[in-house]
């Protein structure tokens, strides 16, 4: 058991994420390194100033460009799309660990003969014609369809067939156009050895342990309590969660730290990062805009405890009830969240429109701070391929 201060918690988690000091990750290689470290990053199709996965990487990876992620996914096949922490981007080496989800999806197909009857014809069509989306094959009717990882209520038949084949691992995402997914046969993109590799985990409890350890590593640290960081883990009750934490602790996979009388858990392999933090070395201050579904933000109650910063993503909040804006990004400055920014990319004119910046009440808006924020806005415009910036 290691006792630390709340400030040391902040410093640890930011060093772990590569969000303080010099850049830990650089370029396309750095983007892959961070995703490998996190285990997965969350995908969301909303694109007002970059999609969530892209925003997650731009805050950490020096020189990151959006096409780097597309190359890693659909050219290099170092990553793949699949539900994990909701819809996620995952290192391809983890494909075997999702066998139980694919198997459950396959078993569920017997409940939907209206879908099953089209599987082979879809496979033949894709084999002959290449990647397709749901608009490329017309089928009459709709279906209320459930699989182990997806729910489609009243969806059109062609989409349900494709999503079933994707859920069971017959198909992978070939590429995306906006939010639309194009699917191709998995065997065309992954090696036979990978596709035939058995699930390394013997049972559901082992799978839960694997998932929670990855989520702790992705977030940096977690507590043993109900958390949005643990969404999507099969069969995870409060009792099971406690057993998982206890087992991981006994096995030495995780270590316990205490701050202000509360217990938290980090990966044991991250103790060297904590040791460096405890030496209190000076760190270069950076300003970064953080994605709404960034792994750092997965447990917003935890972020509020550590950083004294309350963040709510208001995209699904009715406009009249929003306190800030629909797509607002937290602003990280040094080891503190100092405010929020709402920026929209106007693609026709290649202009980044800064709608508003809200600073926290206790933040002194010094000339140095404003300069750093303005520089961050410029970098953000460049990330979005915007040649000009308009402040409203």
The one-digit pLDDT tens for each residue of the chain (392 residues) are 899 999 999 999 999 999 999 999 999 999 999 999 999 999 999 999 999 999 999 999 999 999 999 999 999 999 999 999 999 999 999 999 999 999 998 998 888 899 999 999 999 999 999 999 999 998 887 777 665 555 555 578 898 899 999 999 999 999 999 889 999 999 999 999 999 999 999 999 999 999 999 999 999 999 999 999 999 998 999 999 999 999 999 999 999 999 999 999 999 999 999 999 999 888 889 999 999 999 999 999 999 999 999 999 999 999 999 999 999 999 999 999 999 999 999 999 999 999 999 999 999 999 999 999 999 999 999 999 999 999 99
Cα–Cα distance measured from residue 296 to residue 10, given in angstroms and rounded to the nearest whole number? 11
Listed in sequence order, the residues at least 6 apart from 387 whose beta carbon sits closer than 8 Å to its beta carbon are: 350, 351, 381
Cα–Cα distance measured from residue 288 to residue 66, given in angstroms and rounded to the nearest whole number? 17
Q: Is residue 46 part of a domain?
A: yes
Taken as a whole, the chain contains a residue count of 392
Tokens of 319: 């406009």
* Residue after which a domain boundary falls, among 278, 306, 337: 278
Q: Is residue 266 part of a domain?
A: yes
Give pTM, 2 decimals. Answer: 0.95
pLDDT at 148: 52
CA-to-CA dists, residue 183 to 131, 167, 186, 363, 367, angstroms: 5, 11, 9, 48, 50
Half-sphere exposure of 28 (CA within 13 A, CB side): 12
Q: Is residue 194 part of a domain?
A: no
Comparing CA positions, the residue from 263, 106, 252 lying closest to residue 186 is 106
Say whether both 310 and 371 belong to one domain.
Answer: yes
Say whether both 74 and 205 belong to one domain.
Answer: yes
Say whether both 310 and 380 belong to one domain.
Answer: yes
User: Helix/strand/coil (H, E, C) string of the chain?
Assistant: CEECCHHHHHHHHHHHHCCCCCCCEEHHHHHHHHHHHHCCEECCCCCCCCCHHHHHHHCCEECCCHHHHHHHHHCCCCEEEEEECEEEEEEHHHHHHHHHHHHHHHHHHHHCHHHHCCHHHHHHHHHHHCCECCCCCCCCCEEEEECCCCEEEEEEHHHHHHHHHHHCCCEEEEEEECCEEEEEEHHHCCCHHHHHCCCCCCCHHHHHHHHHHHHHHHHCCECCCCCHHHCCCCCCCHHHHHHHHHHHHHCCCEEEEEECCEEEEEEHHHHHHHHHHHCCCCCCCCEEECCCCCHHHCCHHHHHHHHCCCCCCCCCCCHHHCCCCCCEEEEEECCEEEEEEEEEEECCCCEEEEEEEEECCCCCCCHHHHHHHHHHHHHHHHHCCCCEEEEC
What values do phi and psi take at 222, rounded to 5? -140, 165
pLDDT at 149: 55
Cα–Cα distance measured from residue 163 to residue 363, given in angstroms and rounded to the nearest whole number? 47
What's 372's domain CATH number? 3.40.630
Torsion 46-50-54-55 (CA) sign: negative
Place of tokens 């099971």: 240
Cα–Cα distance measured from residue 287 to residue 23, given in angstroms and rounded to the nearest whole number? 12
* Residue after which a domain boundary falls, among 257, 278, 299: 278
pLDDT at 151: 55
Say whether both 254 and 321 belong to one domain.
Answer: no
Place of tokens 């709608």: 355
Say whether both 69 and 207 belong to one domain.
Answer: yes
Say whether both 64 and 105 belong to one domain.
Answer: no
Listed in sequence order, the residues at least 6 apart from 283 whose beta carbon sits closer than 8 Å to its beta carbon are: 11, 15, 20, 21, 334, 335
pLDDT at 64: 98
Backbone torsion region of residue 310, taken as left when φ is above 0, otherwise alpha when ψ lies between -120 and 50, otherwise beta: beta
Say whether both 216 and 76 belong to one domain.
Answer: yes
pLDDT at 154: 56
According to DSSP, the residues that pair with 97 across neighbouring strands are none
CA-to-CA dists, residue 207 to 149, 201, 203, 280, 282, angstroms: 15, 6, 6, 37, 40
Say whether both 20 and 141 belong to one domain.
Answer: no
Say whether both 291 and 387 belong to one domain.
Answer: yes
* Residue after which a domain boundary falls, among 164, 189, 214: 189
Q: Is residue 324 part of a domain?
A: yes
Say whether both 83 and 222 belong to one domain.
Answer: yes
Please give the residue range of the domain that contains residue 270: 2-92+199-278
Say whether both 299 and 383 belong to one domain.
Answer: yes
Say whether both 173 and 87 belong to one domain.
Answer: no
Backbone torsion region of residue 132, taken as left when φ is above 0, otherwise alpha when ψ lies between -120 and 50, otherwise beta: beta
Number of domains composing the chain = 3
């Amino acid at each position: 058991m290691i006792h630390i201060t709340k400030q040391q918690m902040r410093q640890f988690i930011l060093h772990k994420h590569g969000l303080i000091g010099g850049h830990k990750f650089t370029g396309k290689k750095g983007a892959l390194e961070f995703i490998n470290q996190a285990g997965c990053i969350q995908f969301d199709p909303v694109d007002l100033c970059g999609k969530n996965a892209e925003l997650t990487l731009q805050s950490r990876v020096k020189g990151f460009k959006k096409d780097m992620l597309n190359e890693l996914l659909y050219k290099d096949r170092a990553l793949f799309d699949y539900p994990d922490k909701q819809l996620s981007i995952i290192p391809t080496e983890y494909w075997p660990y999702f066998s139980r989800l694919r198997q459950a999806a396959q078993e569920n197909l017997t409940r939907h003969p209206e879908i099953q009857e089209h599987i082979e014809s879809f496979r033949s069509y894709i084999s002959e014609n290449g990647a397709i989306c749901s608009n490329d094959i017309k089928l009459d009717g709709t279906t209320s369809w459930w699989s182990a990882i997806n729910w489609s209520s009243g969806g059109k038949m062609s989409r349900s067939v494709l999503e079933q084949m994707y859920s069971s691992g017959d198909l992978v995402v070939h590429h995306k156009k906006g939010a639309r997914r194009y699917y191709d046969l998995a065997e065309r993109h992954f090696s036979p050895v990978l596709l035939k590799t058995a699930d390394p985990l013997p049972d559901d409890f082992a799978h839960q342990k694997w998932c929670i350890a990855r989520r702790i590593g992705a977030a940096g640290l977690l507590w043993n309590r109900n958390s949005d960081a643990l969404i999507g883990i099969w069969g995870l009750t409060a009792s099971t969660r406690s057993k998982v934490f206890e087992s991981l602790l006994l096995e030495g996979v995780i270590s316990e730290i205490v701050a202000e009388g509360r217990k938290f858990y980090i990966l044991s392999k991250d103790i060297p990062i904590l040791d460096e933090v405890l030496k209190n070395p000076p760190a270069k201050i950076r300003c970064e805009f953080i994605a709404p579904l960034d792994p750092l933000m997965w447990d917003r109650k935890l972020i509020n405890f550590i950083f004294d910063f309350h963040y709510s993503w208001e995209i699904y909040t009715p406009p009249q009830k929003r306190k800030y804006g629909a797509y607002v990004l937290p602003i990280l400055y040094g080891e503190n969240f100092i405010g929020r920014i709402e920026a929209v990319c106007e693609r026709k004119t290649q202009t980044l429109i800064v709608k508003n910046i809200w600073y926290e009440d206790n933040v002194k808006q010094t000339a140095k701070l404003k300069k750093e924020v303005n520089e961050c806005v410029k970098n953000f415009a460049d990330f979005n391929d915007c040649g000009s910036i308009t402040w409203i």
